[in-house]
Structure 1
């Protein structure tokens, strides 16, 4: 299933596939991530993205920019039901009762009645609360207060732990994923748990753009290296949420949906995996994310 969007200046945005992540819940395979977008810039960035044609916005309580994202959604004129909004439960709010409060606060900051997707941001295993948090999220979903729930940065053992307390599968496992850090064991466990894989830092925060197979494919297709890497993700079935504050880069990223790489190109990029993690290790990451 594809969706065709058109930007405000009349130019056509790329055909972006819609991925079903839960019964009756679909999201655009390319979304806009707003990690590290300053609070005072978030409204402008998200308004630009919605004008260009994005319909999937990913934020988090820990990013401290939910208010700006919500203001952009309200100001954009795009009907709320056309915009898929994800946010995340930060580590310092984990726990059964606190997860309910945190979810309500997130919806208030965003100015929405409910989210389309709510994720546990990190397992934070040293706190021992992610299973209780998952119980709360499953109740939010059962009550219809959120359309779908999932996790982020969960390793196989964390996925097993939540499966033991609830039959509800996580709609998504959002993980660090890019050509030089592919986590095949986490992908395999996520798919086995019924979760769709969503890639954050899909370009390796820029570190993967100069890799030889990426540059070669970009030249062969008259595309940018970023488009090549995003196309690699899309053709492997992953959801991607590249972050950019620049309109031209946002449009470029969205246009990656129209690029098709050959099997040889896909394999060459896949062969770049070197276990080069950029972000925190979910087995030990323990910041409360409270500022």
Structure 2
């Protein structure tokens, strides 16, 4: 029996499933098998990037899944090689060829790389790619509010999504509030991670026992109840199913307050100017 995942509306139209399959750092063969397994469980959202080197495998998995293209929500990201001078046009064309698709549902600028000063021109190219139908929605990844302010001031177009490292240990409250204020969906990469071994924290053990769930399910439920999109990575079908089984219970106010204590502080996480995830 598959699980139906709720979706969040995107500014400009369309919607994004609230939980998807992360694919970094799986290789082509691993990710092909993972996408097929995930499809059978009920996933309809898969996240990749040029930098991950697995778009071919994602495309093979999508084709082998038996799920119609229109039921999938596919995200890819273009990294610094494709910033400036309309380089994103060829970049997306190459991604689509590797994926075996005519369009992606969401195209993201992988990092702002503000020292290059090219993310605004890249965003202008993204707008044209969206208008041409090659990307249904466009957004950013690892952007800070100041970077997004610049995009909006220069183009008037607000990103539909900002994908950032986010978990109870790295809650990024100010960025989430900024996203909510600007109608930007905040998407969490490394949603079950953080500083140290988050899942071993006694707070999570207590809440897992209270709800008869696993620690990772408690964390993913936290993302859901905070209106976030989460993309946990797994190649294990049992773990995939576990990650998806978070829509039939609810954390109460005391639970959420307890999870607030896991905040690792302002220095936790990866800086948005880095070239990590």
Q: Structure 2-normalised TM-score?
A: 0.95
Q: For the residues of structure 2 that align with 1:19 and 1:41, how far apart are their CA atoms?
A: 29
Residue by residue over 1:156-178, the C-alpha shift from the partner in whole angstroms, topping out at 9 and shown as x without a partner, is 11011101111221110000000
Pairwise CA RMSD: 1.7
Indicate if the aligned counterparts of 2:12 and 2:160 stay in contact, CA closer than 8 A: no
1:279-290 aligned within 5 A: 280-282=270-272, 284-285=273-274
* Number of aligned residues: 276
Q: For the residues of structure 2 that align with 1:230 and 1:174, how far apart are their CA atoms?
A: 16
Q: Choose the corresponding residue for 1:264, options 248, 251, 254.
A: 254
**Aligned residue in 2 for 1:7:** none
SS at match of 2:198: coil
Q: Choose the corresponding residue for 2:160, options 171, 179, 196.
A: 171
1:71-82 aligned within 5 A: 71-82=60-71
Q: Choose the corresponding residue for 2:208, options 208, 215, 218.
A: 218
SS at match of 1:237: coil
**Aligned residue in 1 for 2:57:** 68
Q: Does 1:238 align with 2:257?
A: no
Residue by residue over 1:130-177, the C-alpha shift from the partner in whole angstroms, topping out at 9 and shown as x without a partner, is 111111111111222210000011001101110111122111000000
**Aligned residue in 1 for 2:40:** 51
* 1:277, distance to aligned residue in structure 2 (A): 5.9
For structure 1, which runs of at least 5 residues remain unmatched after alignment? 1-10
**Aligned residue in 1 for 2:107:** 118
Q: For the residues of structure 2 that align with 1:66 and 1:133, how far apart are their CA atoms?
A: 21
Q: Structure 1-normalised TM-score?
A: 0.90
1:16-35 aligned within 5 A: 16-35=5-24
**Aligned residue in 1 for 2:188:** 199
SS at match of 1:54: coil
Indicate if the aligned counterparts of 2:2 and 2:40 stay in contact, CA closer than 8 A: no
Residue by residue over 1:52-89, the C-alpha shift from the partner in whole angstroms, topping out at 9 and shown as x without a partner, is 11000000000000000001111111100000000001
